[in-house]
Amino acid sequence: MIPDAPPSSPAERWPLASVLVVDDEEGMRSFLTKTLATRCGQVLAAGSAEEAATLCAQHRFDLLILDIALPGKSGIELLRELREQGHSGEVILITAFADLDTAIEALRAGASDFILKPFRIAQILNAMAQCLERSRLARENFVLRRTLSEKRPASPLDGFIGNSPAMASLQHALRRAAAVPSTVLLSGESGTGKELAALALHARSPRAAGPFVPVNCATLSPELIDSELFGHARGAFTGAARHRDGLFYYAQGGTLFLDEIGELPLAQQATLLRVLEERRIRPVGSEQQIPVDVRIVAATNRPLAEEVRAGRFRKDLYYRLQVVEITLPPLRAHKEDLPALAQHFIATLAPQLGLEPFEITAEQMAYLQQYDWPGNVRELRNLVERSLILGALNVQALYPGLEPVPQPRDASAGAAAPTDLQTLERRHILSVLESVGGDKTRAAALLGISRRTLERRCAEWQAAAS
């Protein structure tokens, strides 16, 4: 090596990279190790192919710098064996004696680059930069393809709409939590925007340049959860024909979002707890201990405290996840944001669907304000999407049996249809009663109220009329 390179620039530092140097010359091995130790997260060294194979069985390396001329087994032979075993990391081969045939053989064996000795530090650093960038792009491509295959709806970052006190409080909590590396537990009903909150935490954090990897624990097969999260070695189980990295590995340097964490089986809860405490993962069927630098954001629509009392969720994992807990409010708790939310969805979805936007009248908005929104913001979004397809707000989807309200006939008088809640409620209930032929039991079921409540309302209206 020719040690005449200038001090490394920030671009020549890879704090998350794990590198193995394999060379039988102690001087070269020592020099490379010392040179890379200040630039990489982990640098180990081996003096033979056998020693290197042992280290590869114990650690997950992002990059191997491998000498071809090793005692006994050559570097190319070792590379072939590692590739057959499923090693997917980048490999730079180095040698003092090479010809075209050797270079071709090295590339066929799976080498990423080929460097002749003696070389300058700048050469090895440039080769490393290209290899590690290629590895980063491969991980990023995997995450993007996985996200597209799951057809996740695109959500704008920091896309919480509304100026209600509930939204202001939520935004404040997210800003404070994003600035620290602590684990965050997002709780709240389905449809309140927990994944959007996780995205906001990631986008506002120092890890924003890293990957955001979402995984829904409820959709994972119980038999394959460990493999999906932590990876597996070749032959670890039936069908494991090759090595596979887990989602923890792909989230390196970024955020892993564990949605529906309450659905995780107890056995995997224990494994996850150990990973959170040790910051290391072990792929299924492997002895490798892989350091991970991942921020965990978990979400649940279940009350985990009750799950702990029922024995369905580990108490120690609950407290480990609950370092920071943020509860997302249901839509019924901030109905003042309904106009802004509805308009946002109309403006966002209309161009996506290639449809004309529609206007929401004051009377229609009054109906939206009366509704309790059990499906929260997701239900409102779906209502807007259906309404865009139909060409007008589909209020009847919320109130079965509701007939369109007739417009006032005396246009010259300029009178508008009443929009106060009592009048709208009466009109709606009477419309439902008429649609079922006066059957109060059926009408009460459609309205979501008890028959006694319905009879009391009707009696009040009759008394007011008399």
Strand partners, 67: 94
**Which has the closest alpha carbon to 269: 230, 238, 314?**
314
Distance CA 452, CA 196 (A): 41
Tell me what the mean pLDDT of segment 345-367 comes to: 89
CB 5 within 8 Å of CB 122: yes
Which pLDDT score, from 0 to 100, does residue 136 have? 85
Instruction: List, for residues 404-426, the tens digit of each pLDDT value.
Output: 444 444 444 444 444 455 666 67
Distance CA 376, CA 191 (A): 5
- Residue 89 pLDDT > 90, yes or no? no
Confirm whether pTM is higher than 0.85. Answer: no
Contacts (Cβ under 8 Å, ≥6 apart) of 394: 383, 386, 387
Which pLDDT score, from 0 to 100, does residue 418 have? 46
- Residue 197 pLDDT > 50, yes or no? yes
Which pLDDT score, from 0 to 100, does residue 266 have? 92
Distance CA 346, CA 344 (A): 5
Which pLDDT score, from 0 to 100, does residue 10 have? 42
Tell me what the mean pLDDT of segment 3-25 comes to: 72
Distance CA 103, CA 112 (A): 11
Distance CA 420, CA 422 (A): 6
Tell me what the mean pLDDT of segment 392-409 comes to: 63
Helical axes 75-84 vs 100-109, angle rounded to 10° = 20
Instruction: List, for residues 246-304, the tens digit of each pLDDT value.
Output: 899 999 999 999 999 999 999 999 999 999 999 999 888 888 888 889 999 999 999 99
Which pLDDT score, from 0 to 100, does residue 409 have? 40
Which pLDDT score, from 0 to 100, does residue 423 have? 67
* DSSP classification of residue 268: H
CB 271 within 8 Å of CB 281: no
Instruction: List, for residues 416-452, the tens digit of each pLDDT value.
Output: 444 455 666 677 777 777 766 777 887 777 666 778 8
Which pLDDT score, from 0 to 100, does residue 232 have? 85
Instruction: List, for residues 61-78, the tens digit of each pLDDT value.
Output: 999 999 998 988 888 999
